[in-house]
Amino acid sequence: MTAEHRPERIRALIGEYAAEFRKTALPMHDGEVAVEDVVRSLDLELLRFSLPQEFNDTPLMIGSDPLYVRRISESVIVQEELSWGDAGLMLAMPWASLAAFVIDQMAGPEIRESHYSRLANNAEWTYFAVTEPEHGSDPVSMETTLSRDDEGWVINGTKRYVGQGHRGTTGLVFCRREGTSGPMGLEVVLVGSETAGFTSAPLQTIGLRGAGLSELNYDSVRVPDDHVLGQQGKSTRRGLFGASHTFDMLRPGVGAMALGVARAAYDYVRAERRALRAEEEASMESIRQRILGTRSLIAAAARAVDAGKPSGPLSSAAKLEAVRLAEDATVEALRLLGPCARLEHPLLDKFRRDAQGFEYMEGMTDIQRQNAAQGYLTNRFWTAPTGLHP
């Protein structure tokens, strides 16, 4: 397979799985089938798509070539395609989580080894808990504490809106070291869900139900020393800095999921309304052009990450554009299918609900706008040749 044709081959392969995702999209959204059952019925090759090569002995195959989806520029293709099928199920995939990525970036070799060895053999979920009931995801005001007594580290606090929190067998918790203020006092800690003092509960959501948003409570939860991540690395790889670096790397993926939903809405209208008036056709053409443009922007942000020079501002711009497009495409699709569209087209109603969730993932629109503008004004937008800018 030539490098030039690889993206198309990946898209075609994952597109077949996406068509399968579509079959359970509504029943899972409506609660007629359990997320856990749908996930466990998926092919192991697909479930394991993001695992490192050394932990994956059943990779996806493109012809005779194994496909390990470890580069962000390939991951965004997978995320877009699977989200076209069902963004909820895409978010329910156990091993494609933010936590796994943070472990890759920040954990020592032993933690990484034990984490992946366990996950590779069981369809287990992990979570990454930042958001709090009183302070949202603002790290500076975070109240969950990590303190130390004679027996070791202890976590106290509450997290809310955490994806897969109630399903996770382990999770990463963002805490403030007791007695500190400012960004340097923040730590990322690995916590097992069997640990005494940990409780969790699922939350109801209007869309993206596969994401499994949850509330988590830590009441004097004890953690071993080596579960406080990044201690062996530089201070710039720890806590807030390590996590925000990870967000910059993964934000194109959130954009890719939103793009998948935008495309799903576009294709839905094309399938349902064969004849459009001139004004309607112009609107659809504009959405089609935006889908292609946004895909290029996401690909550019992903290539910067793969080049080892992630650009926070470029990732923000890509996510911003994709979120706006998902909103616009789903609203427009409802308009084009008439005043009763939400009742008559439950799948489109679901796309509309799902589209609204991306705004909240990995930084809201206000923050992305600030990132993009500051990056542009300080000449940090294009960190690497991405094939997009002159």
**Residue ranges binding ligand FAD (CB under 6 A):** 127-131, 136-138, 161-163, 208, 211, 213, 357, 360-361, 364, 366-367
Looking at the Cβ atoms of 67 and 259, the one nearer to ligand FAD is 259
* Rounded distance between C-alpha atoms, residue 322 and residue 340, angstroms: 26
Looking at the Cβ atoms of 303 and 319, the one nearer to ligand FAD is 319
Please answer whether residues 125 and 94 qualify as being in contact, where contact means their C-beta atoms are separated by less than 8 angstroms: yes
Q: What are phi and psi of 142, to 5 degrees?
A: -55, 135
For residue 12, the minimal CB distance to ligand FAD (Å) is 28
For residue 131, the minimal CB distance to ligand FAD (Å) is 4
Looking at the Cβ atoms of 65 and 138, the one nearer to ligand FAD is 138
Residues 6+ apart with CB under 8 A from 8: none
Residues 6+ apart with CB under 8 A from 197: 218, 219, 220, 221, 222
Looking at the Cβ atoms of 49 and 128, the one nearer to ligand FAD is 128
Give how far Cα 320 sits from Cα of 94, 254, 299, 323, Å: 26, 10, 14, 5
User: Which residue sits closest to ligand FAD, CB atoms considered?
Assistant: 136
Looking at the Cβ atoms of 137 and 147, the one nearer to ligand FAD is 137
Largest CA distance in the chain: 74
For residue 355, the minimal CB distance to ligand FAD (Å) is 11
Looking at the Cβ atoms of 85 and 357, the one nearer to ligand FAD is 357
For residue 66, the minimal CB distance to ligand FAD (Å) is 29
For residue 214, the minimal CB distance to ligand FAD (Å) is 9
* Rounded distance between C-alpha atoms, residue 235 and residue 332, angstroms: 47
* Residue 277: CB atoms within 10 Å: 10
For residue 161, the minimal CB distance to ligand FAD (Å) is 4
For residue 91, the minimal CB distance to ligand FAD (Å) is 7
Please answer whether residues 94 and 47 qualify as being in contact, where contact means their C-beta atoms are separated by less than 8 angstroms: yes
Looking at the Cβ atoms of 67 and 89, the one nearer to ligand FAD is 89
